[in-house]
Amino acid sequence: MSELYTGYAPLGSLLDAFGVWDKGKLEMVLSIDGLREAGYLKEEIPMSELQIGLQLYSVRDRCQDKDDMLACLKELKAVGYNVVQLAGHSADITPEMIKAMMDESGLNALSIHGSYDRLKDDFDAYIKDLKTIGVKSIGTGMPGDLRTTPEGVMEFIKQINKIVPKLEDNGIHYGYHNHAFEFERFFPVGKNAMELMLENCVPEMKFELDLFWVQRGGANPIDMLRKFDGRMFTTHIKDMNGSKDSVATIAAVGKGNLNFAQILPVAAECGSQYVFIEQDNAPASGNSVEEVAFSMNTLKGLGFKF
Amino acid sequence: MSKLQIGAQMYSVRNHCQTAEDLRDTLKMLKIMGYNICQLSGYNRAIAPEVVRDILAETQMKCVCTHIGYNEMEEDLDKVIAMHKTIGCDYPGIGGLPMEYRNPEGFVEFAKKASKIADKLADNGLHFIYHNHAFEFEKLWPVGKNGLELLMENSSANFQFELDVFWVQMGGGNPLDWIEKVRGRMDICHFKEMNGCRENKGVMAPIGMGNMNWKAIMDKCDDIGVKYALIEQDNAVEQGSMDCMWISYKNLVKLGGRF
């Protein structure tokens, strides 16, 4: 990675370096070509092995209709994305349609956020769907009724321990996607749901750590990646920004305070192969593709591969 | 053992600080637990500084810093100085930035105004400390910086920061990074634990009952020369505030914290 970018706030230091604050120039600065032209990038940036992609939930406003979704996927490919994780698209869009759209747009649907109920109760039919799309991993969270007690979490562990080996037999990894509730310690157990899962889940089970929610739960993302060393295939990121009412808010990568230059190499070191950008509030900006392009440019500027 | 000394922010036990008798008993109990220093905030300000001084002497507790309103400093700084001299406290602090300054121009304006106060306090041997929340971490666009950075860049060296690591975490920052960033500008740190979040707000907890890495935080504080850390748990009053202070004490001692 270029040492120019290891500073705390990539955007802040970019702006400092260029001394420009107006929006036109800002856009130029934030494109890779613009950076290269301005002599800010070295000829060759040593790339991380990690590949970064997009969780399509970030652009779900564009995934409610087949034609719009195809157009959106093409825009994402044109912007520079290559791999995506499915989520948030309309239920009317079938696995076959998705496969065709991916082929046409040239994107790789590497992973999906799927239905826990179907994994549990409709496994064989669901596997067929997953294979039709061709995903290599599936992620879910924990059912709401099991979250609030240690007994509930142990029940989830019992269930998922049966599902994960079956998925692996079909060549698909399972990645547990956390929020912040998993970091609330149960008393008097003294452990939180993440710790219970790490200790009691089958070793094939992977964890798709969402580092925003790790931070929100009070833990340090870097500590947590190390704790889950070797148990990861994919990782989720979004930036965290402060807000006027002192509630942490989701932001495009580079518009908040998380130090991805420091965090992502640790994710790679601990075995994660793919990182997906998931910006839940991107549709609210009115142009979700522009938001996720911003995130991409920030991370490309830090030397990460898409 | 940590170089920094840890104490109790009395705001955490404010339900037991509303009469002179309660304040005395509470400080005495904290002393028995193992605490030696405190921060005065959230107690009944009608208790005269002279009475507070006597209570501190009687309980053998030292008040290392306070939180008072910024308006008090603006309106009558001499009175603030006199009060701190009376109770033997060197670090008058403000608990939060007044609302009207919570915008890009406001941060800069406040930094400049408060620096004058900080300078005058310094002339009197006192140090101004600023306590953050998460709003200072909102990156201001297109400035590309957040409020805390604006405060740091536009204030005098006498303007010190009392980083609250919980709120740094809520703002998306890594507490260790930000402790480094305020190197040379922080004698006092606020310790507050985060244990998951509910309805988008981080849940406060006694130290050790959440997920923050306290060993790393203490080591980093020692590294930059922090002198004191105060335990603040806003919601302790709902959970048995003295019990919470006891748990925090035990857990930090286990990690090598010095009280």
pLDDT in tens, A26-53: 454 455 555 556 555 544 444 568 999 9
Residue A21 — very low, low, confident or very high, per pLDDT cuts 50/70/90?
very low
Residue A33 has a pLDDT of 59
Determine whether A159 is exposed, middle or buried from the number of CB atoms within 10 Å of its CB (0-12, 13-18, 19+): middle
For residue B14, give the DSSP letter: G
Are A246 and B170 a contacting pair at CB < 8 A?
yes
* B66 vs A243, residue with greater confidence: B66
Residue B48 contacts A where some CB pair is shorter than 8 Å:
no
Which residues, listed in sequence order, are joined to residue B82 by a DSSP beta bridge?
none
* Strands A173-177, A206-208: pairing kind: parallel
Going by C-alpha positions, the residue among A300, A275, A240 that lies closest to residue A14 is A300
Residue A141 has a pLDDT of 97
Residue A22 has a pLDDT of 44
The minimal CB distance from A215 to the residues B145, B172, B181 is found for B172
Rounded distance between C-alpha atoms, residue B214 and residue B191, angstroms: 9
Closest Cα of chain B to A279: distance in Å? 15
Contact assessment for residue B218 and residue B244, using Cβ atoms and an 8 Å cutoff: no
Read off the tokens for A219. Answer: 């833990």
Are B133 and A243 a contacting pair at CB < 8 A?
no
CA torsion angle for A138, A239, A181, A288 (degrees, to 10)?
-60
Average pLDDT value for residue range A279-299: 95
Chain B residues whose CB is inside 8 A of the A192 CB are: 196, 211
Please name the residue of chain A whose CA is at the shortest distance from the CA of residue B204.
Answer: A218
Taking only the tens place, the pLDDT of each residue in A208-219 is: 999 999 999 999
Rounded distance between C-alpha atoms, residue A148 and residue A184, angstroms: 9
Read off the tokens for A215. Answer: 């931070």
Rounded distance between C-alpha atoms, residue A110 and residue B151, angstroms: 44
Determine whether A224 is exposed, middle or buried from the number of CB atoms within 10 Å of its CB (0-12, 13-18, 19+): buried
Are A240 and B171 a contacting pair at CB < 8 A?
yes
Average model confidence (pLDDT) across chain B: 96
Average pLDDT value for residue range B4-31: 96
Rounded distance between C-alpha atoms, residue A40 and residue A32, angstroms: 10
Is the pLDDT assigned to residue A14 strictly greater than 60?
A: no
Going by C-alpha positions, the residue among A191, A110, A112, A181 that lies closest to residue A143 is A181
Residue B90 has a pLDDT of 98
Read off the tokens for B101. Answer: 């300054």
Residue A39 has a pLDDT of 53
Average pLDDT value for residue range A76-81: 95
Residue B172 contacts A where some CB pair is shorter than 8 Å:
yes
Residue B201 — very low, low, confident or very high, per pLDDT cuts 50/70/90?
confident
What is the share, in percent, of chain A residues with pLDDT greater than 90? 79
Taking only the tens place, the pLDDT of each residue in B153-174 is: 999 999 999 999 999 999 999 9
CA B239 to centroid of chain Cα atoms:
21
CA A210 to centroid of chain Cα atoms:
7
Taking only the tens place, the pLDDT of each residue in A248-284 is: 899 999 999 999 999 999 999 999 999 999 999 999 9
Is the pLDDT assigned to residue B83 strictly greater than 90?
A: yes
Please name the residue of chain A whose CA is at the shortest distance from the CA of residue B172.
Answer: A240
Which of A23, A246, A247, A259 best probes binding to B when mutated, by most B CB atoms within 10 angstroms?
A246
Are A220 and B135 a contacting pair at CB < 8 A?
no
Average pLDDT value for residue range A284-300: 94
Is the pLDDT assigned to residue A24 strictly greater than 80?
A: no
Taking only the tens place, the pLDDT of each residue in B205-227 is: 999 999 999 999 999 999 999 99
Closest Cα of chain A to B50: distance in Å? 36
Q: Please state which of the ranges A70-84, B41-55, B136-150 shows the lowest mean pLDDT.
A: B136-150
- Phi/psi region, residue A81 (left: phi>0; alpha: psi -120 to 50; beta: rest), is beta
Residue A244 — very low, low, confident or very high, per pLDDT cuts 50/70/90?
confident
What is the share, in percent, of chain B residues with pLDDT greater than 70? 100
The CA distances from residue A107 to A79, A102, B243, in Å, are: 12, 5, 56
B-facing residues of A in 76-135 (CB < 8 A) are none
Is the pLDDT assigned to residue A299 strictly greater than 60?
A: yes
Q: What is the sign, positive or negative, of the torsion defined by CA atoms of B112, B166, B170, A205? A: positive
Residue A12 has a pLDDT of 45
Residue A19 has a pLDDT of 44
- Which ipTM score applies to this complex? 0.84
Q: Please state which of the ranges A72-76, A166-170, A193-197, A242-246 shows the lowest mean pLDDT.
A: A242-246
Residues B226-237, buried b or exposed e (16+ Cβ, 10 A)?
bbbbbbbbeebb
Residue B199 — very low, low, confident or very high, per pLDDT cuts 50/70/90?
confident
Omega before residue A150 within 30° of 0, cis: no
Taking only the tens place, the pLDDT of each residue in A138-196 is: 999 999 999 999 999 999 999 999 999 999 999 999 999 999 999 999 988 899 999 99
What is the share, in percent, of chain A residues with pLDDT greater than 70? 84
Residue A246 has a pLDDT of 82
Rounded distance between C-alpha atoms, residue B230 and residue B213, angstroms: 16
Contact assessment for residue A250 and residue A281, using Cβ atoms and an 8 Å cutoff: yes
Q: Please state which of the ranges A110-114, A129-133, A292-296, B141-145 shows the lowest mean pLDDT.
A: B141-145
Residue B160 has a pLDDT of 98
Is the pLDDT assigned to residue A15 strictly greater than 60?
A: no
| 0.90 exceeded by pTM | no
Residue A303 has a pLDDT of 87
Average pLDDT value for residue range B38-61: 97
Which residues, listed in sequence order, are joined to residue B39 by a DSSP beta bridge?
B9, B65
